[in-house]
Chains A and B, each alone.
Chain A
């Protein structure tokens, strides 16, 4: 096994969105919070739910389910905000990601991880870093920097910010 003293690159935080199991490399996860009040920021993409107060800082919270087209995350006792650190345009940014529930820290060797399937997944292949397995269940390992890349966020802002719903 790997050295205990080194921050393990092969540890993953697993969480669920709907029934599916996802994972984030522990290196990019800062902390996990209970769901608190999210302040909506008007006229911004719906999948960015708003901002929360993280010890005096305004941290944007992204609804991963909406991002992946699974519908809005509902508030339950298990709903959590995973605070992650991503790189936006070369700057470190702190974001929150909504998860239906957070499971455990799971260890996977690189050899246990398979490349992302070209098709078949509901999620864009570029967001997936690889597929792991826990027992019989697949774990989708997300590439958090791709999910929250500047282009992804900019694309969400650009075409008529929140204009669609008004036309309806």
Chain B
């Protein structure tokens, strides 16, 4: 039974993924209802859910999905067109399948939306009793699907018009597209290519014969060439169905193929056959077909053979290209690699002390290896952020419906990779920010129209790499923020002094303060004044930063900077007294010396850095470290949220690859520290969380400044 549970669990995971894909496809379908590929995707996802569901004993899912699948089969065949009602129903059924997955045994009748949904779907299926027994059509549908699955071999002759380039088309791309719908073998004919000095680079001289093995129908293949239909000569002929294909094709004689392709007449073939030379040679020397054509025909024979050979092993090969690993195993691996990196650093230090040349070279090799191992292990944990983005499509759709706004979500940079943990912990803050953009940012359609903007607002979500960080932007083309109103609110709430001088950017960042909310109307979505400070805190915890830029009536952009990984950081090791600390290198700008008796600057806690005044914090005092500081201290200049702050330390030791260790439950609430790391000698050094540190200092400004 235990093994059974594992399989059921595996199915749940698979189903979760399928549902996510399904949802994404459905939402895309809403935007482009005629897209055959998307319809197919939906159909396939439903089909897989049905099949695997039945296999692993999720019968209610299998039964339920069956009818949805049947409807989409009809959509696929063009009998039903996609409507909003159908999409709503299908999205609803996604939710229902999720519900079935979570509560497989206790089918709580009150919550069961299945019958209602099914009734809705059945109305799309003519000739079916609305109350018909579920699963009744199982036998009828099955053979039909099998029919669909059969693959055929097509011969496609594609002779683009010489002028095809002038329309901006690249004929080679069509051949690539063919490769995407099935296994394909293309033969390029260059017999029309003139000698080099006669070539006009704006003309297309080449043409193709393509042998394609695909389950798509002729019309779908034709669709690929839809844009150039009138600029090429296109012949698509199914030459064989999969089952019979290879046998007949392999046994086919070269001559037959050439005749069939219209390259020669049967009579010529016959007369040619009467001589005793090899057929290809005869035809070529007679100038009837080019050498190339013969080669192509021979290749066709060969290709058919290959298709046949490939048919059997193809499926397992595709399956082994990726495997599924449990997250715990991966975490364990990362932990172990972390340990290894620490031990390696210790070995390096010990070896450097011993001065042994041989050991030294071994230690260097070990360092290289462990660095590579670390990088590839961390690489395994990297996931594209696209899946997270896709989850938001549904959120945006539902929210905009709820608020009566028209909103389009545009995403880009889905392939950007981030550490799994970062992605997981990023979900909630992003939801908050998106909700804010939709609720506060985008105006109602009428308001937008009055402003001369399109009725539908656009919220865009993008991710990109920038140095060692990832930047995620949430932009809307809504009303933008009103610095005056934010300011007034902040003064009213006592968050800033009425005469405080703040740049617009500083004003925007006020909304991240706890207890701030400008929305006059509290909606179910946002505006309770919780949220933005939670967002800020969550992002700080991920060692990231957040920034707002906004223009009145143009919209707002919220940029989130995030580190690639949470496991290892590059740190700058510093010393204060006997204590060692690590400052994340990503926020360090430079290090400068500070003379202890530096005159008035010493009192004001501000240093003049090339004309810019930069405040600094004496870590020794804040951390209450005993002893006297050296006469010349160092200031590490850091940049936090666009502001420069100096940290005064005794000594800067150097860069240090830092494996981050949690300080655990007891130190969870300590502000200003994000963890600990193990030094070369085996003792621990604490990692500073500079934004948190500054927050803590700002929270008790009076006591600190009195010092």
Contacts and interface: CB of A to CB of B under 8 A. Distances in A.
A59 interface: yes
Contacts of A157: 669
A55 to B, nearest CB: 8
B667 interface: yes
Interface in B335-358: 335, 338-339, 342
B680 to A, nearest CB: 12
A56 B667 contact: no
A53 B672 CA distance: 20
A132 interface: no
A42 B625 contact: yes
A155 interface: no
A30 to B, nearest CB: 15
A157 B624 CA distance: 16
A37 B624 contact: no
B670 A44 contact: yes
B391 interface: no
A124 B373 CA distance: 52
B664 A36 contact: no
Contact of B707 (A36, A59, A166): A166
Interface in A23-46: 36-37, 39-44
A52 interface: yes
Given A44-B670, A58-B664, A39 B339 contact: no
Contacts of B666: 48, 60, 88, 93, 95, 153
B661 A57 contact: yes
Contact of B622 (A42, A53, A88): A42
B667 A42 contact: no
B624 A166 contact: yes
A165 B676 CA distance: 25
A162 interface: yes
B664 A59 contact: yes
A56 B683 contact: no
A41 B665 contact: no
Interface in B599-636: 622-625
A53 B661 CA distance: 10
A26 B678 CA distance: 29
A104 interface: no
Q: Which of B580, B673, B675 has the most CB of A within 10 A?
A: B673
B683 A36 contact: yes
A51 B339 contact: no
A42 B623 contact: yes
Contact of B624 (A56, A57, A162): A162
Contacts of B624: 42-43, 162, 165-166
A143 B670 CA distance: 26
B247 to A, nearest CB: 63
Contacts of B623: 42-43
B661 A39 contact: no
Contacts of B684: 37, 39, 51-53, 58
A3 interface: no
B678 A41 contact: no
A69 interface: no
B663 interface: yes
B682 interface: yes
B686 A39 contact: yes
Contacts of B700: 163
B449 interface: no
B622 A163 contact: no
Interface in B673-702: 673, 675-676, 678, 682-686, 700
Contacts of B670: 41, 43-44, 161
B695 to A, nearest CB: 13
12 contacts: A39-B580, A41-B667, A41-B670, A42-B624, A51-B676, A56-B335, A56-B342, A60-B667, A88-B665, A91-B665, A153-B666, A165-B624
* 3 nearest A-B residue pairs (beta carbon): A42-B623, A37-B683, A39-B684
Given A58-B676, A59-B664, A163-B700, 14 more contacts: A40-B579, A41-B686, A42-B579, A43-B622, A43-B623, A44-B670, A51-B667, A51-B684, A52-B683, A53-B684, A56-B678, A60-B664, A60-B666, A95-B666
